[in-house]
Amino acid sequence: MTWTRREFLAASGVMSTYPLLGGCGDSGMTRYEEAVAALREELPAEPALRDFVRYATLAPNSHNTQPWEFRLGADRVEILPDLARNCPVVDPDDHHVFVSLGCAAENLLVAANARNRAGEAVVNLDGTSATARITLGNGAGIDRELCDAIPRRQSTRSEYDGQPVSREELAALESAATMPGVNTFFITDRGKMDGVLDYVIEGNSAQIDDPAFVEELKNWIRFNPEAAVETNDGLFAACSGNPTLPTWLGRFMFDRFFTRDAENDKYAKQVRSSAGIVIFVAEKEDQEGWINVGRSFQRFALQATALEIRHAHLNMPIEVAHIRPEFARWMGIPGRRPDLIIRFGKAPPLPMSLRRPVKEVIAPIEDVITA
């Protein structure tokens, strides 16, 4: 949901009376920005495991639910899914949960590597769920540029500048995303990007016509900085370029303005202003494959950030079950499952999102890894 100028001005009129309506305005935003900055403090020269976990949590994750828990051992970190934080409507088989775990695992590996603790990740099965177990070593730091990008990476849900990226930049993005077990499909041809857009519009229309999808999304939106800081999770309105409002008014405006036509229009402009689209497809359609997709996507996202290239998700065609196989046929990979659809291009940044503090995502002391 990005509001039109007229809607924004109307809302701004209401915002000028915001303190009277129960929000605390500027001081809320100051607290928000302080929390954002504290989460993104530079890693110390010799980080403790908790510092690496902080960087891991800066990973992208579906609806910013942060569906993970970290178990610490001597030189190990295990990342487990927190299935109480899944989104059953948009993600009924927890696909996005495991992709998010992969993003966090890659952040942790990149951060450790950059501080001379190069390690490796192994996917384990814990009951019926996969976990990513990372063992840190003492290897040389080669990922500094990507590590510096971790606190600066964001999902930028705005229109981009409409310019292509250079051949060298594209090659760097392709190379960063290369990972065993994952195929990437880069599209920069305008006609083909319009082809993806057709499926985005079909998927988006189906989602907005589904009241359960809309309700789930609305429940994860934080309409003002106070609400965002209270939970440290969810989708803060300003991170999508929207004005901030008291929660009751935000929910009211959402019901009015979150419509099929407005959203489809917005996505058409966003796709047409982007330099390209990349689609990630796991070779194995299971939790391990999805974790690998998250790792590949995260390397892409960090490399893009290092090059000042923004990215945002267009996952609707892969989230709507009946559209996904059609979309795979259109891509020329019938029978396979495309996992993520990401647009990229250049644009100014938007506000950064929040995360829960490290102490809230670390498992209790009695739960440390001993095996």
Strand 310-313 with 276-282, pairing: unpaired
Asked whether position 131 contacts ligand FMN by CB under 6 A, the answer is: no
Q: Which is nearer to ligand FMN, 64 or 292 (CB)?
A: 64
Which range, of 25-33, 59-67, 115-123, 142-150, touches ligand FMN by CB under 6 A? Answer: 59-67
Q: Which of residues 306-365 bind ligand FMN (CB under 6 A)?
A: 312-313, 315, 353
Q: Is 155 in the site for ligand FMN (CB under 6 A)?
A: yes
66 binds ligand FMN (CB under 6 A): no
Nearer to ligand FMN, 74 or 321 (CB): 321
Please, what is the minimum distance in Å from the beta carbon of residue 225 to ligand FMN?
15
At its nearest, how many Å lie between ligand FMN and the CB of residue 239? 6
| 6 to 45: interface string for ligand FMN, x by CB under 6 A | ----------------------------------------
Q: How far is the CB of 221 from ligand FMN (least distance, A)?
A: 10
Angle at 61 between CA 229 and CA 32, to 5 degrees: 20
Residue list 205-244, contact with ligand FMN (CB under 6 A): 235, 239
Cβ proximity to ligand FMN: between 60 and 289 the closer is: 60
- By C-alpha distance, which of 75, 73, 130 is closest to 99? 130
- Nearest-approach distance from CB 290 to ligand FMN, in angstroms: 8
Half-sphere exposure of 259 (CA within 13 A, CB side): 8
Contact 355, 58 (CB under 8 A): yes
Instruction: Report the C-alpha gap between 158 and 1 in whole angstroms.
Output: 10
Instruction: Look up residue 196 and give its DSSP letter.
Output: H
Concatenated DSSP letters of 80-137: EE-GGG--TTT-TT-HHHHHHHHHHHHHHHHHHHHTT-EEEEEEEEETTEEEEEEEEE
Burial 4-22 (b: 16+ CB within 10 A, else e): eeebbeebeeebeebeeee
Question: Are 19 and 225 contacting, i.e. CB atoms less than 8 angstroms apart?
Answer: no
Percentages of the chain per state (helix, strand, coil), in multiples of 5: 50, 15, 35
105 lies in the site for ligand FMN, by CB under 6 A: no
Interface with ligand FMN (CB under 6 A), residue from 53, 103, 123, 201: 103
Residue 99, interface with ligand FMN (CB under 6 A)?
yes
Rounded to a whole number of angstroms, the minimum distance from the CB of residue 284 to ligand FMN is 17
Q: Does 61 bind ligand FMN (CB under 6 A)?
A: yes
Check binding of 154 to ligand FMN (CB under 6 A): yes
Residues 156-185 binding ligand FMN (CB under 6 A) are: 157
User: Closest distance between ligand FMN and the C-beta of residue 52, in Å?
Assistant: 17
Of 2, 57, 64, 292, the residue at the interface with ligand FMN (CB under 6 A) is: 64
Helix (H) or strand (E) holding 263: helix 260-272
Asked if 2 is part of the footprint of ligand FMN (rule: CB under 6 A), the reply reads no
96 contributes a contact to ligand FMN by CB under 6 A = yes
CB of 163 to ligand FMN, least distance (A): 22
144's tokens: 């500094």
Q: How far is the CB of 103 from ligand FMN (least distance, A)?
A: 5
Q: Which residues pair with 126 in a beta bridge?
A: 129
Token pair for 93: 């088989």
With contacts defined by CB under 6 A, name the span among 151-159, 162-170, 187-195, 271-279 that binds ligand FMN.
Answer: 151-159
Is the CB of residue 220 less than 8 Å from the CB of residue 234? yes
CA distance 11 to 23: 14
User: Which amino acid is residue 277, in one-letter code?
Assistant: I
# binding residues, ligand FMN (CB under 6 A): 18
Residue number of the CB closest to ligand FMN reads 60
143/113 Cα distance (integer angstroms): 6
Closest CA to 278 of 248, 256, 260, 303: 303
Binding site for ligand FMN (CB under 6 A): 60-64, 96, 99-100, 103, 154-155, 157, 235, 239, 312-313, 315, 353
